[in-house]
Amino acid sequence: MNIDQFIPGKTILNKYVHSLKQNGASFHIHYWGAIPKHYDNLLHKHSYYEVCFIFDGEGLYVEDDSSYKLQKNTIFLSRPNMVHQIKSVSGLSIVYIGFELVESESGPEWIKLLEEAAQCTSFVKNLEDESVSALLWKSLILKASKMDNVYAEGILKNIAFSLILSLLQTFVPYSDTENKKSNSKRGSALLHQAVLFIQDNLSNSIKLTDLANCLHISSRHLSRLFVSELGLSYSDYVRNQRIRKAAILLKETESSIKEIAEQTGFPNVHYFTRVFTSAMGSSPGLFRSLYISQKTTTYKEV
């Protein structure tokens, strides 16, 4: 990436990207910075967060009487009210952002995340050249320096928000609790896929093993998802959905009992009648007649 793109990129970012709102979080961007050759600065502090990324060069980051080596692909977090300083003899190619969370417009999980960032003890890190944060920052500067169409502002804001998330993730790794929540969400997504498949294919045989293969998970895993999240076994859920759909067809269509049995995946009318009667307390024919009777009954004042 050409260092000459730093300045125009910084100018565009400061013009267009100073407020980011997504996913229940609202960030105010105080400034975007980019300096091709940064040398020493004074000891100072901020009331907000500042993250700096070193594109090239060598130097030192000083905080709390400790010094940390800066080099290409070093990233560091200056937390609120922490006195710090950057030193370099040869000069650093550096980009940086000053931001804070707008708590009144953000969810509690974001407030907690930023509180954890304020307490982090590993605030200077060396990234791989192809790390997500490095690539996002390069993409942001590159796109900003070539802002040439009506889509550019929206693209810049999306990249900027992704960058802030990747920066926070760099300094505040996921906790075990968050990993469990993530696993739970993945489980819910798989269950949602399974439920949709069942509902769309009730006229067919839907074996647990076949559906598990479609979702690329084990039969045991799929079975556990139904029990843990729905409180039903897989077979009970499928049977309930078949009965539910049959009841709807009995009420809303003129299809024969045999046709409805076929449409809901029952192998024959006898089995359909037995299962439906056990679940609903009346046979399919009686259920339909009672519904029609209730629907056509009129009431007159005496």
> CATH number, domain at 108?
2.60.120.10
Boundary of a domain, candidates 121, 144, 173: 173
Res 164 pLDDT > 80:
yes
Q: What is the domain-level CATH number for residue 202? A: 1.10.10.60
The three-point CA angle 22-28-33 to 5° equals: 115
Q: 11 and 89 share a domain? A: yes
Q: 39 and 150 share a domain? A: yes
- Of 248, 224, 227, nearest in space to 236 by CA: 227
For residue 175, report the phi and psi dihedrals to the nearest 5 degrees. Answer: -85, 170
Q: 229 and 261 share a domain? A: yes
Res 22 pLDDT > 80:
yes
Q: Please give the pLDDT value at position 264.
A: 93
Q: Please give the pLDDT value at position 2.
A: 62
Res 263 pLDDT > 80:
yes
Q: 63 and 203 share a domain? A: no
DSSP letter string, 226-245: HHHHHSS-HHHHHHHHHHHH
Which range marks the domain in which residue 130 is found? 3-173
Mean pLDDT, range 196-212, rounded to an integer: 91
**Number of domains comprising the chain:** 2
Cα distances from 23 to residues 154, 158, 161, 171, 197, in angstroms, run: 16, 12, 10, 20, 29
**CA–centroid distance for 21 within its chain:** 15
Confidence at 301, pLDDT banded by 50, 70, 90 = very low
Boundary of a domain, candidates 127, 157, 173: 173
Look at residue 301 and tell me if it is in a domain.
no
Q: What is the pLDDT of residues 141-162, one digit of tens each?
A: 888 888 777 778 889 999 999 9
Q: 286 and 248 share a domain? A: yes
The crossing angle, in degrees rounded to 10, of helices 176-200 and 208-215 is 120
Look at residue 231 and tell me if it is in a domain.
yes
Q: What is the pLDDT of residues 188-202, one digit of tens each?
A: 788 899 999 999 999
Q: 139 and 109 share a domain? A: yes
Q: Please give the pLDDT value at position 97.
A: 95
Q: 185 and 169 share a domain? A: no
Query: How big is the chain by its Cα radius of gyration, in Å?
Result: 30
Q: 159 and 211 share a domain? A: no
Q: Please give the pLDDT value at position 302.
A: 32
Return the structure tokens found at 143.
């796109």
Distance, in Å, from the CA atom of 121 to the CA atom of 78, rounded to the nearest integer, reads: 11
Res 182 pLDDT > 60:
no
Q: Specify the amino acid at residue 18.
A: H
Confidence at 210, pLDDT banded by 50, 70, 90 = very high
Mean pLDDT, range 19-34, rounded to an integer: 93
Q: What is the pLDDT of residues 60-96, one digit of tens each?
A: 999 988 999 999 999 999 999 999 999 999 999 999 9
Strands laid side by side in the 25-38 sheet: 19-22, 25-38, 92-101, 49-57, 74-78, 124-126
Q: 244 and 186 share a domain? A: yes
Confidence at 174, pLDDT banded by 50, 70, 90 = low
Look at residue 302 and tell me if it is in a domain.
no
Look at residue 232 and tell me if it is in a domain.
yes
Q: Please indicate whether residue 77 or residue 232 has the higher confidence score (pLDDT).
A: 77
Res 124 pLDDT > 90:
yes
Whole-structure pTM value: 0.59
Q: Please give the pLDDT value at position 159.
A: 93
Boundary of a domain, candidates 117, 139, 173: 173
Largest Cα–Cα distance in the chain?
101
Q: 29 and 154 share a domain? A: yes
**By percentage, how much of the chain surpasses pLDDT 90?**
53
Q: 139 and 193 share a domain? A: no
Q: 84 and 135 share a domain? A: yes
Averaged confidence pLDDT in the chain: 87
**By percentage, how much of the chain surpasses pLDDT 70?**
90
CB burial of residue 74 (10 Å; 0-12, 13-18, 19+): buried
